[in-house]
């Protein structure tokens, strides 16, 4: 592949002068590109062309006619079990929301977001960071210098909660979309094309500017959370600060078990197999002592092998432990942090909180783990499970609950699991 020719043909002219200066390019997955190069060299051009056209038709199926929509629906039924297409208006909302994320986020926040959730989440993040610091101090496998820098990186992690303030200012929001001009006579497809071109130009232009670590990572109207290694920043959009992850009326046990574990998960990403390669301001830099780095690799290998031994129920397929190691490290570290933060909260508030009505038989500690587990409830077709097992860096939901909690001795203690049982094994894998 002529990478220079390919890059220049797929990027805006405004960055060509910069690209011709031979800048340093960070490749996040070298092995993938090497295998893709080999695959392209050994595949007929006609097949490659057909594949590209297939992917194009799939992404534009809603715009290019009912024939393609019907084919897409048949595929969705076989793959995801979706029995009928969603209403057209939902397609339009999803497309517009994705292309104009800050504008749609502004509408969502104004109508649905509880401003108090922002301050409550910041308090929980502070609790989780304190738990992380305590875990780091208790760490017995890191040298003093690497540990000191890890603590500094954790303390300097930027926090983005809910939404960026400017989206509630109409003038600033309009300024953000300057250069994106739609005409009344434009078709929906033309508007989509214009928004894609504007977005590409906007983000490629960033190559010519200093990095802004404080720019919000995501739209507010997204049910997800993020860690950016190149900014050393965690983000929790308004969309995830709601049930089942968070509700100010819930017992703290549920909130710490759900959104608390998500917060811990994102913090831990700063120290997983990828995040640990970046420094406190997001530069790719090795700040690890060689001996400590080797010990991390040894602990990560335990996680890889443990998950690789997990078989997907009803199949002969197993989890790809290497593909999922970063998310598995984050899952395990996140729950551990969240539980320690919750126990610290209890100590500061009398040692106990009121039991959940109709669930009085569950202790505070048990309710914490139930809160964690219930956010991973879900149903997928066998085809979807197989696809995700092959491509998703996250483990299946069952492993995100059972394997993670089997690594937490506090779970076994809370539920009195017999020694040597699946949820109280003799060997556990712990990175953080």
* Edge-to-edge order in the sheet of strand 233-237: 158-162, 233-237, 226-228
Residue 332 in any domain: the answer is yes
Contact 253, 371 (CB under 8 A): yes
Q: What pLDDT is recorded for position 106?
A: 96
CA distance 115 to 99: 25
Residue 284 per-residue DSSP state: B
Helix pair 325-348, 397-406: axis angle to 10 deg = 60
Helix (H) or strand (E) holding 226, with range, is strand 226-228
* Closest to 293 measured CA to CA, from 129, 149, 77: 149
Q: How many domains does the chain have?
A: 1
336 phi and psi, to 5 degrees? Answer: -60, -45
| 345 part of a folded domain | yes
Q: Which two tokens stand for residue 370?
A: 């139930």
The single residue of 266, 272, 273, 365 carrying the catalytic annotation is 266
Question: In terms of residue numbers, what domain contains 368?
Answer: 114-163+217-415
Name the 3-class secondary structure at 332. Answer: helix
**Residue 372: other Cβ atoms inside 10 A:** 28
CA pair distance 424, 432, nearest whole angstrom: 18
Q: Is 331 a catalytic residue?
A: yes
Per-residue pLDDT of the chain (432 residues; tens, 9 = 90+): 788 898 899 898 989 999 888 888 888 788 999 999 999 999 999 999 999 998 888 888 877 778 888 888 888 888 787 788 888 888 888 888 888 999 999 999 999 998 889 999 999 999 999 999 999 999 999 999 999 999 999 999 999 999 999 999 999 999 999 999 888 999 888 888 899 899 999 989 988 888 889 999 889 999 999 999 999 999 999 999 999 999 999 999 999 999 999 999 999 999 999 999 999 999 999 999 999 999 999 999 999 999 999 998 878 899 999 999 999 999 999 999 999 999 999 999 888 899 899 999 999 999 999 999 999 998 888 888 888 999 999 999 999 999 999 999 999 999 999 999 999 999 999 999
Establish whether 170 is a catalytic residue: no
* Dihedral sign of CA atoms 44, 47, 48, 49 in order: positive
Q: Is residue 76 part of a domain?
A: no
Taking CA atoms, 416 is separated from 27, 346, 380, 410, 412, in Å, by: 47, 21, 31, 10, 5
Torsional sign, CA 396, 397, 402, 405:
positive
Q: Which of 127, 272, 331, 365 is catalytic?
A: 331
Distance CA 225, CA 375 (A): 14
Output the pLDDT for position 324.
97
What pLDDT is recorded for position 210?
Answer: 87
Query: Rg for the chain (alpha carbons), in Å?
Result: 24
Q: Which single residue is written with the structure tokens 């969309």?
A: 239
Predicted local distance difference test score (pLDDT) of residue 1 = 78
Query: What is the b/e burial string over 267-276, where b = at least 16 CB atoms within 10 angstroms of the residue's CB?
Result: bbbbbbbbbb
Q: Cα dihedral sign for 320, 326, 329, 332? A: negative
In a domain, 185, yes or no: no
- Whether 351 maps to a domain, the answer reads yes
Encode burial over 389-405: b for 16+ CB neighbours within 10 A, e otherwise. Answer: beebebbbbebbbbbbb
- Has residue 422 been placed in a domain? no
In a domain, 365, yes or no: yes
Please give the pLDDT value at position 80. 80
358 lies in a domain? yes
Q: 283: domain CATH number?
A: 3.40.390.10
Report strand pairing: 158-162 vs 226-228.
unpaired
Distance CA 366, CA 410 (A): 10
Distance from the first to the final alpha carbon of the chain: 41
Match 């979706």 to its residue by tokens. Answer: 82
Question: Which pair of structure tokens corresponds to residue 252?
Answer: 């703290």
């Amino acid at each position: 592949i002529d990478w220079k020719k390919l890059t220049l043909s797929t990027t805006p002219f405004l960055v060509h002068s910069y690209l011709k200066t031979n800048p340093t390019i960070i490749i996040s997955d070298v092995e993938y590109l090497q295998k893709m190069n080999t695959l392209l060299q050994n595949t007929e051009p006609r097949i490659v062309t057909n594949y590209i056209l297939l992917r194009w038709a799939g992404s534009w199926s809603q715009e290019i006619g009912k024939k393609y929509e019907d084919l897409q629906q048949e595929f969705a039924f076989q793959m995801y079990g979706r029995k009928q297409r969603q209403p057209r208006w939902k397609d339009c909302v999803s497309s517009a929301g994705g292309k104009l994320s800050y504008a749609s986020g502004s509408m969502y926040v104004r109508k649905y977001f509880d401003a108090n959730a922002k301050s409550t989440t910041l308090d929980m993040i502070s609790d989780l960071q304190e738990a992380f610091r305590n875990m780091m101090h208790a760490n017995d496998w890191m040298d003093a210098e690497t540990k000191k820098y890890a603590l500094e990186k954790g303390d300097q992690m930027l926090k983005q909660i809910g939404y960026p303030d400017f989206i509630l200012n109409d003038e600033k929001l309009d300024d953000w979309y300057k250069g994106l001009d739609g005409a009344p006579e434009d078709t929906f497809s033309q508007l989509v094309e214009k928004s894609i071109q504007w977005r590409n130009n906007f983000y490629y232009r960033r190559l010519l500017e200093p990095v802004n670590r404080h720019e919000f990572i995501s739209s507010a109207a997204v049910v997800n959370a993020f860690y950016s290694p190149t900014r050393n920043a965690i983000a929790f959009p308004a969309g995830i600060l709601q049930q089942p992850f968070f509700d100010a009326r819930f017992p703290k046990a549920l909130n710490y078990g759900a959104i608390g574990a998500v917060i811990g998960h994102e913090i831990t990403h700063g120290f997983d197999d990828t995040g640990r390669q970046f420094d406190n301001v997001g530069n790719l830099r090795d700040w690890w002592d060689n001996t400590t780095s080797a010990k991390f690799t040894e602990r990560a290998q335990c996680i890889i092998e443990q998950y690789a031994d997990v078989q997907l129920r009803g199949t002969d397929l197993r989890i790809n432990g290497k593909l999922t190691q970063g998310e598995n490290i984050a899952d395990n570290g996140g729950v551990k942090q969240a539980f320690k933060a919750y126990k610290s909260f209890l100590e500061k508030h009398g040692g106990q909180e009121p039991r959940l009505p109709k669930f009085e038989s569950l202790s505070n500690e048990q309710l914490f783990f139930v809160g964690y587990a219930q956010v991973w409830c879900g149903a997928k077709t066998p085809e979807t499970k197989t696809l995700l097992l092959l491509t998703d860096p996250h483990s299946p939901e069952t492993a995100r609950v059972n394997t993670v909690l089997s690594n937490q001795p506090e779970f076994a203690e809370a539920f009195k699991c017999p020694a040597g049982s699946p949820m109280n094994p003799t060997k556990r894998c712990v990175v953080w």
